[in-house]
Amino acid sequence: MLPLFAFAAANREQAEKRLAELREQLNYHAYRYYVLDDPLIADVEYDRLFQELLRLEEQYPELVTPDSPSQRVGGAPLTAFAQVTREIPMLSLENAFGDQDLRDFEERLRRFLNSNEPLAYVAEPKLDGLAVELVYEGGIFTLGATRGDGVTGEEITANLKTLATVPLRLRPPAKGKVPARLAVRGEAYLSLTGFRELNAQRAQSGEALFANPRNAAAGSLRQLDSRITAQRPLAFFAYGVDDPTHLPCATQHDLLQYLAACGFATNPHTRRCPDLESVIAHFHHLATIRHDLPYEIDGMVVKVDDFAVQKRLGTKARSPRWAIAAKFPASQATTRLVNVEFGVGRTGAITPVALLEPVEIGGVRVSRATLHNEDEVRRKDLRLGDTVLVQRAGDVIPEVVKPVIEQRTGSETPIRMPTNCPECGHPLVRPAEEAVTRCPNPACPAQRLRSLIHFASKAGMDIEGLGKKVMEQLVQEGLVRDIPDIFRLRAEDLAPLDGWGEKSAANAVAAIAARKKTSLAKLLAAIGIRHVGEVTAQLLEEHFGTMEALLRATEADFLEVAGIGPQVAASLADFFGDPAARQMLATLQELGLTIAASPSAREWLRLSGTLFLFTGALLHFSRSEAKARVKELGGQVASAMSSKVTHLVCGEKPGSKITKAQELGIRILNEQEFEALLNG
Ligand code: IVH
């Protein structure tokens, strides 16, 4: 018996070593990619390492550690959040509005310190997200919590683990080792792109919209099911610790460098300022670049740099004396709501758009603002002629916040939703469970145009050179009527058109050809299935893997996908059950569109990391069918027995493989068990 046992132990030992290597490599490459924005290896290489890790962890579940990158994806949902009480409270900040308030702040510091010594500061962008604390013990992320009331917050460790910019293990800083305990504080936030995509999805499915990225970040982190958090592109910037006394840092500036060395993202627009004038200069600088940043900031936090001076200054009841938040003027303005226009989206959704008396907000002239949908109009009780508050918060698309009721004169008139499509005249419908009114006419020219524009756009197939204007022209000219037509375009059709030439025509045709090889997720997000955006498309690719599997799936199958609810499942079943849609997919295939399996998607399939071997005849499957089913679910098929095989499927009259499998401790399945495994 000894040799067998030794063999397993050696394997286990090897696996343990390899897993440690893989964790370190993967964590390092994720850090290069997400924190430094400077990847060292290609995505496919990362995926390959990740897959190897998953395979080994599946084989040796007892070797999974809390800092394994596999632990980022959410586990089982919680029933409630636990409370976390901290010894050193997370304080809030007093506000300053403008230069004079900042000068007064320094004046107060001087009076308190009773000295004229020079004061240096650190000025950091004030992100508008959610303050959280991350506790590391022995270098491992063990506890994450919201600020709550400062002393007591909610434990959201599993949710915070899903953020790629939250290190699961600290990197040892250059000099010295990782501290025994480190409580890092910072802001978890959602990028503007993330916010916009999330709201677009919610608008599509008739869910209430998030008012701003802050609310969206808070809502995403306060999810009992961390798999939902994992789908939201949240990030984290570190800006402090609970107590810097035991760290090798004398100043806030040192501390930020120390945190960066530990693997945290720190904000690149932070400046060390030798005096207050340079603080004020940086405030003005941030105010001019704030709208170019990929996330929302609502001001700048000024901190006295020297920890010894911070200590002398101390704290008041809720806020430290040594720091202040300099707030930007709000990017809101009031103006008059002149009229409302109704646009038709690609899924037929009717969107009310406010036409405004032009007004300048945050340096941009605004004359249109979205009203989202009928319910939002009703909820806000907006009327034509109202004075309205308009903001450009978190979105380049401005929105109407509310009417200024005090300024009503009585001459305002209600906003009427149209009963017929403003583009094709077809009567509109509004399903009882949705907030969205739609034009149900699949031939509605506005919808067709919008869906073609979407298909070619960045959120769809990302076909270079086929933007909105070009697509409008192609439809106008009758060259493109449906999606397959795009792949039928020839350079000689395009070259004679207005504004085109031989070269641009050839480029466009080449750009289209370049997208003929695509991923399932990309195609699904592009073809305009209602309620299916990039995130759901990714889930579908991960679950089904192939178009064939999707075409076979029933509504019940769609419901089985984690993250897909009844509304989306029904929409998918409708789409894939529609002969016209199936025909379109078949035509795309005839026109040369092929779907390449993406490795990053495959690794999440149910049989990922498995290696199957078959022996004996199966009753219900041909051998090639059985192999195909395994591969569809992400598994691999071996041609001979080896220690790498994970499952042996035995049909009638199995051969000697079964004895070998028993020796190697490989899982042995009969046909029934195999079928059950395939069906999940
Ligand atoms: S320091 C003791 N630094 O602003 C200092 N706060 O009222 C307390 N915030 O919600 C916080 N960016 O999360 C600090 N660079 C930054 C910040 C920042 C955003 C938030 C913080 C809290 C609020 C403070």
Mutate to test the pocket of ligand 1, among 86, 88, 90, 93 (most ligand atoms within 8 A of CB): 93
- Amino acid (one-letter) located at 393: A
Reply yes or no on whether 126 is catalytic.
yes
Binding site membership of 322 for ligand 1 (Cβ less than 6 Å): no
Binding site membership of 126 for ligand 1 (Cβ less than 6 Å): yes
Look at the chain and count its residues.
680
Among 549, 543, 548, 541, smallest CA distance to 523 is for 541
Alpha-carbon distance 453 to 536, whole Å? 20
Helix axes 671-678, 623-632, angle to 10 degrees: 30
Q: Cβ(544)–Cβ(629) under 8 Å?
A: no
Span from the CA of 39 to the centroid of ligand 1 (angstroms): 29
Mutate to test the pocket of ligand 1, among 92, 132, 302 (most ligand atoms within 8 A of CB): 92
Task: Give the pLDDT of residue 395.
Answer: 44
The CATH code belonging to domain 4-72 is 1.10.287.610
Phi-psi region of 653 (alpha: psi -120 to 50; beta: other; left: phi over 0): left
Nearest CA to ligand 1 atom 17: 126
Question: In 98-251, where does DSSP find H-type helix?
Answer: 99-113, 157-161, 192-204, 213-221, 226-230
Span from the CA of 89 to the centroid of ligand 1 (angstroms): 13
Span from the CA of 402 to the centroid of ligand 1 (angstroms): 28
Q: Are strands 636-637 and 611-615 parallel, antiparallel or unpaired?
A: parallel
Alpha-carbon distance 473 to 475, whole Å? 5
Q: Dmax of the chain from CA atoms? A: 94
Span from the CA of 92 to the centroid of ligand 1 (angstroms): 7
Among 639, 641, 628, 638, smallest CA distance to 678 is for 628
What backbone torsions phi and psi does residue 321 show, to the nearest 5 degrees? -75, -25
- Amino acid (one-letter) located at 630: V
Binding site membership of 320 for ligand 1 (Cβ less than 6 Å): yes
- Residues sharing a CB contact under 8 Å with residue 199, sequence separation 6 or more, in sequence order: 209, 210, 216, 395
Binding site membership of 315 for ligand 1 (Cβ less than 6 Å): no
Q: Cβ(328)–Cβ(299) under 8 Å?
A: yes
Question: How far are the Cα atoms of 2, 23, 628 from residue 599, in angstroms, in the given order?
Answer: 39, 19, 17
Binding site membership of 92 for ligand 1 (Cβ less than 6 Å): yes
Q: Cβ(221)–Cβ(234) under 8 Å?
A: yes
Q: Cβ(377)–Cβ(371) under 8 Å?
A: yes
* pTM of the predicted protein model: 0.58
Mutate to test the pocket of ligand 1, among 91, 121, 126 (most ligand atoms within 8 A of CB): 126
Torsion of CA 25, 29, 30, 36, to 10 degrees: 140
Binding site membership of 599 for ligand 1 (Cβ less than 6 Å): no
55-60's contacts with Cβ under 8 Å and 24+ in sequence apart are 55/608, 55/609, 56/15, 56/18, 56/19, 56/22, 57/19, 58/609, 58/610, 59/15, 59/609, 59/646, 60/12, 60/15, 60/16, 60/19
Counting from 1 in the atom list of ligand 1, the atom nearest the Cα of 125 is 15
Among 90, 463, 125, 88, smallest CA distance to 271 is for 125
Task: Give the pLDDT of residue 3.
Answer: 43
Q: Are strands 83-85 and 152-154 parallel, antiparallel or unpaired?
A: antiparallel
In the chain, domain spans? 4-72, 95-327, 331-407, 445-515, 520-595, 603-678
* Strand stretches in 409-496, DSSP E: 413-414
The single-letter DSSP state of residue 138 is T
Instruction: Give the homologous superfamily in CATH for domain 603-678.
Output: BRCT domain (3.40.50.10190)
Alpha-carbon distance 243 to 11, whole Å? 44
Decide whether 331-407 matches 603-678 in CATH topology: no
Task: Give me the residues paired with residue 300 across strands.
Answer: 125, 326
Count of Cβ atoms closer than 10 Å to residue 652 Cβ: 10
pLDDT means per 10 residues in the chain (680 residues)? 49 92 92 84 85 91 91 74 92 91 95 91 95 96 94 94 95 84 97 88 76 87 89 95 95 97 96 97 93 90 97 89 89 90 89 92 83 85 94 70 89 92 93 82 91 91 92 95 96 95 94 92 92 85 89 92 85 93 94 76 64 89 81 81 90 86 90 88
Q: Cβ(460)–Cβ(532) under 8 Å?
A: no
Binding site membership of 286 for ligand 1 (Cβ less than 6 Å): no
Among 576, 578, 573, smallest CA distance to 555 is for 573
Alpha-carbon distance 329 to 314, whole Å? 29
Looking at the domain 95-327, which fold is it? D-amino Acid Aminotransferase; Chain A, domain 1 (3.30.470)
Span from the CA of 303 to the centroid of ligand 1 (angstroms): 10
Alpha-carbon distance 251 to 627, whole Å? 62
Task: Give the pLDDT of residue 396.
Answer: 57
Span from the CA of 393 to the centroid of ligand 1 (angstroms): 19
Q: Cβ(115)–Cβ(323) under 8 Å?
A: no
Element (H, E) at 153: strand 152-154
Task: Give the pLDDT of residue 5.
Answer: 46
Binding site membership of 91 for ligand 1 (Cβ less than 6 Å): yes
Q: Which two tokens stand for residue 342?
A: 């109704």
The single-letter DSSP state of residue 36 is S
Task: Give the pLDDT of residue 358.
Answer: 93
Place of tokens 């994806």: 73
How far is C-alpha 174 from the chain's CA centre?
32
Looking at the domain 445-515, which fold is it? DNA polymerase; domain 1 (1.10.150)
Looking at the domain 520-595, which fold is it? DNA polymerase; domain 1 (1.10.150)
Task: Give the pLDDT of residue 534.
Answer: 79
Nearest CA to ligand 1 atom 18: 126
Q: Which two tokens stand for residue 231?
A: 């789908």
Alpha-carbon distance 537 to 459, whole Å? 11
Q: How many C-alpha atoms does 80 have within 13 Å on its Cβ side?
A: 3
Domain range 331-407, its CATH number among 1.20.1250.20, 2.40.30.10, 2.40.50.140, 3.40.50.300: 2.40.50.140
Catalytic residue among 126, 161, 303, 657: 126
Binding site membership of 313 for ligand 1 (Cβ less than 6 Å): no
Binding site membership of 131 for ligand 1 (Cβ less than 6 Å): yes
